[in-house]
Structure 1
Amino acid sequence: MLKLLSPLFSGLIFGIGLLLSGMTNPSKVQGFLDIGGAWDPSLALVMGGAVCVALPVFQWVIRREPDRRVSAPIDGKLLLGSALFGVGWGLSGYCPGPALVVAARGSASALGYVAAMAVGMIVAGRLGSSDRSGAAQVSK
């Protein structure tokens, strides 16, 4: 039962954090990304807080399990995917987590974003090679 409730509560806490931080407000996100105009630096505090929480946990896991590493080459697929993610984030003001939270509230723009994201994932899966040897490998 705990295996089912733990992800549920983690997702719930994550969603509440996104709502409270303003990450689900596309205009706030676009204001943060607009460094040449009316820049809103408040989301930098959100990111800084996330790093302060996550970094010690990652360091603890690495010390506890030194063989647990993620490694993958920086290649054209990674660069193209990163660029597409950034353009999509900048144009829409959504990234996947906040889009799912806002879509759950019934927002048409977020539902459209989630649908486009799903299509993109399907297309990427079909265009990708069946050999996943170049994909990130996590060792345990």
Structure 2
Amino acid sequence: MGYSIGQVAEKLNLPSSTIRYYDKEGLLPFIQRKNSGVRVFSESDLGMLAIIECLKNTGMPIKDIKQFSIWCAQGDATLQERYDMFLERKRIVEEQMAELERSMKTIEHKCRYYKAALEAGTESIHKQAVTKK
């Protein structure tokens, strides 16, 4: 079964313009077209679009995602490159998660800080706690 760009956009919750942009940037070299030029997406195309979105959401540059798409089109000869790319992406995402965790700890501290200040009606309670130490 083939899907139209509108159906794909709805299924993946992506704007049609984003899918067209990916196609224009060469990220979707595998997409079939009707004689009229209309794109027809397969189930495997939907899977590839989901991977492209995943990579984009991790901050991977479009040029690197394009390279990944090229490697996919080249088949088994590029399995190592694709594996290495995902290992690197995993390392980057782990670093991002660690940074987000540090940020969350700061935010949680500030939530406690301002909750206590609101309950006391003043921020000066924190200054008093510091001078008592």
The TM-score with structure 1 as length reference comes to: 0.29
Higher Cα radius of gyration: 2
Q: Which has the higher helix share?
A: 2
The TM-score with structure 2 as length reference comes to: 0.30
If asked which structure has higher relative contact order (CA below 8 Å, sep 6+), I would say 1
